[in-house]
Structure 1
Amino acid sequence: MLLALGQFVFSVDTMTYSELQRSRSWSYASNSIAQGRDQHQYTGVGEETVTIPFLIYQSHGFGNRQSIDDLSEMADSGSGYVLIDGSGYLYGVFAITAIDETRSHITNRGVARKIDGTMKLMRVDDDRIQTDKAVTTDGQEV
Protein backbone atom coordinates (compact mmCIF):
# COMPACT_ATOMS: atom_id res chain seq x y z
CA MET A 1 0.00 0.00 0.00
CA LEU A 2 1.36 3.40 -0.96
CA LEU A 3 -1.37 5.47 0.67
CA ALA A 4 -4.99 5.07 1.74
CA LEU A 5 -7.79 7.62 1.85
CA GLY A 6 -10.56 5.91 3.77
CA GLN A 7 -11.19 2.60 2.00
CA PHE A 8 -9.53 3.78 -1.24
CA VAL A 9 -6.01 2.34 -1.46
CA PHE A 10 -3.50 3.94 -3.82
CA SER A 11 -1.56 1.23 -5.64
CA VAL A 12 -0.28 0.30 -9.08
CA ASP A 13 -3.70 -1.26 -9.77
CA THR A 14 -5.80 1.77 -8.78
CA MET A 15 -3.93 5.08 -9.02
CA THR A 16 -0.21 5.77 -8.78
CA TYR A 17 1.48 8.90 -7.51
CA SER A 18 5.07 9.94 -7.06
CA GLU A 19 4.73 12.78 -4.59
CA LEU A 20 2.46 14.22 -1.94
CA GLN A 21 2.45 17.96 -1.29
CA ARG A 22 1.31 19.06 2.17
CA SER A 23 0.64 22.66 3.21
CA ARG A 24 -0.09 23.77 6.78
CA SER A 25 -0.71 27.25 8.16
CA TRP A 26 -1.21 28.99 11.51
CA SER A 27 -3.27 32.12 12.16
CA TYR A 28 -2.26 35.39 13.81
CA ALA A 29 -4.33 38.49 14.53
CA SER A 30 -2.71 41.86 13.91
CA ASN A 31 -3.10 44.89 16.20
CA SER A 32 -1.86 48.30 15.10
CA ILE A 33 -0.10 50.45 17.65
CA ALA A 34 0.99 54.08 17.50
CA GLN A 35 4.56 54.70 16.35
CA GLY A 36 5.58 51.08 16.22
CA ARG A 37 5.40 47.81 14.47
CA ASP A 38 2.06 46.00 14.50
CA GLN A 39 1.70 43.45 17.28
CA HIS A 40 0.59 39.92 16.48
CA GLN A 41 -1.25 37.37 18.57
CA TYR A 42 -1.46 33.67 17.79
CA THR A 43 -5.10 32.71 17.24
CA GLY A 44 -4.84 29.06 16.33
CA VAL A 45 -4.21 26.45 13.72
CA GLY A 46 -5.08 27.41 10.15
CA GLU A 47 -5.83 25.25 7.14
CA GLU A 48 -4.05 22.09 6.13
CA THR A 49 -4.19 20.84 2.55
CA VAL A 50 -2.70 17.92 0.66
CA THR A 51 -2.18 17.82 -3.09
CA ILE A 52 -1.54 14.50 -4.81
CA PRO A 53 -0.51 14.52 -8.48
CA PHE A 54 -1.44 11.16 -10.04
CA LEU A 55 -0.91 9.17 -13.21
CA ILE A 56 -3.06 6.52 -14.83
CA TYR A 57 -1.59 4.67 -17.80
CA GLN A 58 -3.97 1.72 -17.82
CA SER A 59 -2.72 0.18 -21.09
CA HIS A 60 0.73 -0.12 -19.49
CA GLY A 61 -0.53 -1.52 -16.18
CA PHE A 62 -0.52 1.68 -14.12
CA GLY A 63 -3.84 2.52 -12.54
CA ASN A 64 -7.45 2.23 -13.59
CA ARG A 65 -9.73 4.91 -15.06
CA GLN A 66 -12.52 3.75 -12.72
CA SER A 67 -10.47 5.04 -9.76
CA ILE A 68 -11.25 8.64 -10.71
CA ASP A 69 -14.98 7.89 -10.61
CA ASP A 70 -14.59 6.09 -7.27
CA LEU A 71 -12.83 9.11 -5.76
CA SER A 72 -15.43 11.44 -7.30
CA GLU A 73 -18.19 9.49 -5.55
CA MET A 74 -16.30 9.86 -2.27
CA ALA A 75 -16.07 13.62 -2.89
CA ASP A 76 -19.80 13.81 -3.73
CA SER A 77 -20.62 12.48 -0.25
CA GLY A 78 -18.95 15.48 1.40
CA SER A 79 -17.46 13.18 4.03
CA GLY A 80 -13.99 13.20 5.51
CA TYR A 81 -11.72 10.19 5.22
CA VAL A 82 -8.65 9.14 7.19
CA LEU A 83 -5.42 9.65 5.22
CA ILE A 84 -2.64 7.22 6.12
CA ASP A 85 0.55 6.23 4.31
CA GLY A 86 2.21 2.84 3.94
CA SER A 87 4.43 3.33 6.99
CA GLY A 88 1.39 3.91 9.19
CA TYR A 89 1.80 7.70 9.44
CA LEU A 90 -1.63 9.21 10.07
CA TYR A 91 -2.14 12.61 8.44
CA GLY A 92 -5.67 13.21 9.75
CA VAL A 93 -9.17 13.29 8.31
CA PHE A 94 -9.45 14.88 4.87
CA ALA A 95 -12.23 15.70 2.43
CA ILE A 96 -11.70 15.74 -1.33
CA THR A 97 -12.10 19.31 -2.60
CA ALA A 98 -11.02 18.92 -6.24
CA ILE A 99 -9.92 16.40 -8.84
CA ASP A 100 -8.35 17.79 -12.01
CA GLU A 101 -7.51 15.47 -14.88
CA THR A 102 -5.92 15.72 -18.31
CA ARG A 103 -6.57 12.92 -20.79
CA SER A 104 -4.03 12.42 -23.57
CA HIS A 105 -2.74 9.88 -26.09
CA ILE A 106 -6.27 9.43 -27.46
CA THR A 107 -6.94 6.29 -29.51
CA ASN A 108 -9.01 6.21 -32.70
CA ARG A 109 -11.97 5.16 -30.50
CA GLY A 110 -11.64 8.28 -28.35
CA VAL A 111 -10.18 6.48 -25.34
CA ALA A 112 -7.36 8.18 -23.46
CA ARG A 113 -4.35 5.97 -22.89
CA LYS A 114 -2.82 8.36 -20.38
CA ILE A 115 -4.51 10.38 -17.63
CA ASP A 116 -2.53 12.89 -15.58
CA GLY A 117 -4.24 14.63 -12.74
CA THR A 118 -4.20 16.23 -9.34
CA MET A 119 -6.38 15.52 -6.34
CA LYS A 120 -6.73 18.18 -3.66
CA LEU A 121 -7.67 17.42 -0.07
CA MET A 122 -8.56 19.65 2.88
CA ARG A 123 -8.24 18.59 6.51
CA VAL A 124 -11.62 18.56 8.21
CA ASP A 125 -10.90 17.18 11.69
CA ASP A 126 -9.65 19.32 14.55
CA ASP A 127 -6.77 17.24 15.91
CA ARG A 128 -9.13 14.90 17.74
CA ILE A 129 -7.53 12.02 15.87
CA GLN A 130 -4.38 10.40 17.29
CA THR A 131 -1.33 11.45 15.24
CA ASP A 132 1.43 9.60 17.11
CA LYS A 133 4.20 7.92 15.15
CA ALA A 134 3.56 4.42 13.88
CA VAL A 135 5.06 1.62 15.96
CA THR A 136 6.39 -1.57 14.38
CA THR A 137 5.70 -5.05 15.76
CA ASP A 138 8.99 -4.98 17.69
CA GLY A 139 8.05 -1.73 19.44
CA GLN A 140 10.26 0.62 17.38
CA GLU A 141 8.89 3.98 16.27
CA VAL A 142 8.81 4.61 12.53
Structure 2
Amino acid sequence: MLMVLGLFVFERRTLPYQSMQYSKDYRWASNDRIGKPPAYQYLGEGETTRTLSGVLYPEITGGRLSLTAIELMADEGRAWPLIDGTGMIHGMYVIDKVTHTHTELFSDGAARKIEFSLSLKRVDKSLAAMYGDLKTQADNLVTSAGDWLGGLAG
Protein backbone atom coordinates (compact mmCIF):
# COMPACT_ATOMS: atom_id res chain seq x y z
CA MET A 1 0.00 0.00 0.00
CA LEU A 2 1.36 3.39 -1.00
CA MET A 3 -1.27 5.62 0.60
CA VAL A 4 -4.93 5.78 1.62
CA LEU A 5 -7.33 8.63 0.88
CA GLY A 6 -10.54 7.98 2.79
CA LEU A 7 -11.37 4.38 1.91
CA PHE A 8 -9.48 4.43 -1.41
CA VAL A 9 -6.20 2.53 -1.27
CA PHE A 10 -3.41 3.56 -3.64
CA GLU A 11 -1.60 0.40 -4.69
CA ARG A 12 -0.43 -1.32 -7.87
CA ARG A 13 -3.91 -2.65 -8.70
CA THR A 14 -5.63 0.74 -8.31
CA LEU A 15 -3.71 4.00 -8.87
CA PRO A 16 0.01 3.40 -8.39
CA TYR A 17 1.37 6.93 -8.55
CA GLN A 18 5.01 7.34 -9.54
CA SER A 19 5.52 10.80 -8.06
CA MET A 20 4.09 13.00 -5.34
CA GLN A 21 4.67 16.74 -5.29
CA TYR A 22 4.18 18.60 -2.00
CA SER A 23 3.64 22.35 -1.80
CA LYS A 24 2.97 24.58 1.20
CA ASP A 25 2.43 28.33 1.01
CA TYR A 26 3.12 30.92 3.68
CA ARG A 27 1.22 34.21 3.70
CA TRP A 28 2.88 37.61 4.06
CA ALA A 29 1.14 40.99 3.91
CA SER A 30 2.98 43.92 2.39
CA ASN A 31 2.63 47.41 3.86
CA ASP A 32 3.94 50.25 1.72
CA ARG A 33 5.96 52.96 3.46
CA ILE A 34 7.01 56.40 2.23
CA GLY A 35 10.70 56.58 1.36
CA LYS A 36 11.40 53.03 2.58
CA PRO A 37 10.97 49.52 1.25
CA PRO A 38 7.69 47.79 2.11
CA ALA A 39 7.31 46.24 5.55
CA TYR A 40 6.09 42.66 5.69
CA GLN A 41 3.94 40.96 8.27
CA TYR A 42 3.63 37.20 8.59
CA LEU A 43 -0.02 36.12 8.46
CA GLY A 44 0.44 32.38 8.93
CA GLU A 45 0.29 29.26 6.85
CA GLY A 46 -1.35 29.25 3.46
CA GLU A 47 -2.53 26.31 1.36
CA THR A 48 -0.97 22.86 1.45
CA THR A 49 -1.33 20.79 -1.71
CA ARG A 50 -0.18 17.39 -2.88
CA THR A 51 -0.18 16.25 -6.48
CA LEU A 52 0.00 12.55 -7.27
CA SER A 53 1.02 11.66 -10.83
CA GLY A 54 1.51 8.38 -12.60
CA VAL A 55 0.93 6.15 -15.58
CA LEU A 56 -1.57 3.31 -15.65
CA TYR A 57 -1.41 0.28 -17.90
CA PRO A 58 -4.90 -1.20 -17.41
CA GLU A 59 -3.75 -4.73 -18.31
CA ILE A 60 -1.30 -4.63 -15.38
CA THR A 61 -2.37 -1.83 -13.03
CA GLY A 62 -5.62 -0.09 -12.23
CA GLY A 63 -7.49 1.67 -14.97
CA ARG A 64 -10.64 3.61 -15.69
CA LEU A 65 -12.54 2.02 -12.77
CA SER A 66 -10.02 3.35 -10.23
CA LEU A 67 -10.14 6.84 -11.75
CA THR A 68 -13.95 6.73 -11.66
CA ALA A 69 -13.85 5.82 -7.95
CA ILE A 70 -11.66 8.87 -7.24
CA GLU A 71 -13.98 11.10 -9.31
CA LEU A 72 -17.00 9.82 -7.35
CA MET A 73 -15.21 10.67 -4.10
CA ALA A 74 -14.54 14.17 -5.45
CA ASP A 75 -18.20 14.54 -6.47
CA GLU A 76 -19.23 14.01 -2.84
CA GLY A 77 -17.61 17.35 -1.98
CA ARG A 78 -16.12 16.28 1.30
CA ALA A 79 -12.70 15.98 2.90
CA TRP A 80 -10.97 12.63 3.34
CA PRO A 81 -8.11 11.61 5.66
CA LEU A 82 -4.79 11.08 3.87
CA ILE A 83 -2.57 8.41 5.44
CA ASP A 84 0.66 7.13 3.90
CA GLY A 85 1.93 3.54 3.86
CA THR A 86 3.99 4.07 7.02
CA GLY A 87 0.86 5.06 8.96
CA MET A 88 1.60 8.79 9.08
CA ILE A 89 -1.57 10.89 9.08
CA HIS A 90 -1.18 13.90 6.79
CA GLY A 91 -4.55 15.51 7.53
CA MET A 92 -7.88 15.98 5.79
CA TYR A 93 -7.76 16.62 2.05
CA VAL A 94 -10.28 17.42 -0.65
CA ILE A 95 -9.84 16.25 -4.22
CA ASP A 96 -9.24 19.51 -6.06
CA LYS A 97 -8.59 18.26 -9.60
CA VAL A 98 -8.38 14.99 -11.55
CA THR A 99 -6.83 14.82 -15.01
CA HIS A 100 -6.09 11.84 -17.21
CA THR A 101 -4.87 11.33 -20.77
CA HIS A 102 -5.68 8.13 -22.66
CA THR A 103 -3.17 7.03 -25.32
CA GLU A 104 -2.16 3.92 -27.26
CA LEU A 105 -5.74 2.89 -27.92
CA PHE A 106 -7.13 -0.52 -28.82
CA SER A 107 -9.48 -0.83 -31.80
CA ASP A 108 -12.49 -0.45 -29.47
CA GLY A 109 -11.13 2.85 -28.08
CA ALA A 110 -9.95 1.43 -24.74
CA ALA A 111 -6.62 2.86 -23.63
CA ARG A 112 -3.50 0.77 -23.19
CA LYS A 113 -1.88 3.68 -21.36
CA ILE A 114 -3.48 6.27 -19.05
CA GLU A 115 -1.44 9.14 -17.62
CA PHE A 116 -3.11 10.68 -14.57
CA SER A 117 -2.68 13.51 -12.13
CA LEU A 118 -4.61 13.99 -8.89
CA SER A 119 -4.46 17.30 -6.98
CA LEU A 120 -5.32 17.27 -3.28
CA LYS A 121 -5.77 20.31 -1.06
CA ARG A 122 -5.51 20.19 2.74
CA VAL A 123 -8.54 21.65 4.50
CA ASP A 124 -8.10 20.90 8.21
CA LYS A 125 -6.39 23.25 10.63
CA SER A 126 -4.35 20.66 12.50
CA LEU A 127 -4.50 17.04 13.57
CA ALA A 128 -5.89 18.17 16.94
CA ALA A 129 -8.66 20.08 15.17
CA MET A 130 -9.32 17.08 12.93
CA TYR A 131 -9.90 14.72 15.84
CA GLY A 132 -11.31 17.27 18.28
CA ASP A 133 -11.62 16.62 21.97
CA LEU A 134 -11.11 12.86 22.30
CA LYS A 135 -12.69 12.79 25.78
CA THR A 136 -15.90 14.38 24.46
CA GLN A 137 -16.00 11.90 21.59
CA ALA A 138 -15.46 8.97 23.97
CA ASP A 139 -18.21 10.24 26.30
CA ASN A 140 -20.60 10.57 23.34
CA LEU A 141 -19.80 7.00 22.25
CA VAL A 142 -20.46 5.66 25.75
CA THR A 143 -23.77 7.57 25.92
CA SER A 144 -24.82 6.33 22.47
CA ALA A 145 -23.92 2.74 23.34
CA GLY A 146 -25.87 3.00 26.60
CA ASP A 147 -28.92 4.40 24.79
CA TRP A 148 -28.71 1.64 22.19
CA LEU A 149 -28.40 -1.10 24.83
CA GLY A 150 -31.26 0.45 26.79
CA GLY A 151 -33.39 0.36 23.64
CA LEU A 152 -32.67 -3.37 23.23
CA ALA A 153 -33.60 -4.16 26.84
CA GLY A 154 -36.72 -2.01 26.90
TM-score band w.r.t. shorter chain: 0.7 to 0.9
Deviations 1:122-141 (A, max 9, x none): 111111247xxxxxxxxxxx
Query: How far is 1:91 from its partner?
Result: 1.5
Aligned residue type for 1:58: P
1:32 matched residue in structure 2: 32
1:125 matched residue in structure 2: 124
Q: Secondary structure at the match of 1:68?
A: helix
Structure 2 residue 108 is the aligned partner of structure 1 residue 105: no
Give structure 1 stretches of 5+ with no counterpart. Answer: 131-142
C-alpha RMSD over aligned residues:
1.2
Query: Once the two structures are aligned, what percentage of the paired residues are identical?
Result: 36
1:73 matched residue in structure 2: 72
**In the aligned structure 2, how far is the partner of 1:15 from the partner of 1:98?**
15
2:139 matched residue in structure 1: none
1:134 matched residue in structure 2: none
Aligned residue type for 1:24: K
Query: How far is 1:109 from its partner?
Result: 1.1
TM-score norm. by structure 1 comes to 0.86
Contact 2:29/2:41, CA 8 A, preserved across alignment? yes
Greater Rg over alpha carbons, structure: 2
Contact 2:28/2:40, CA 8 A, preserved across alignment? yes
Structure number with the higher helix fraction is 2
1:64 matched residue in structure 2: 63
Contact 2:19/2:53, CA 8 A, preserved across alignment? yes
The runs of at least 4 consecutive aligned structure 1 residues that moved more than 4 Å come to: none
Structure 2 residue 16 is the aligned partner of structure 1 residue 16: yes
Q: How many residues align?
A: 129
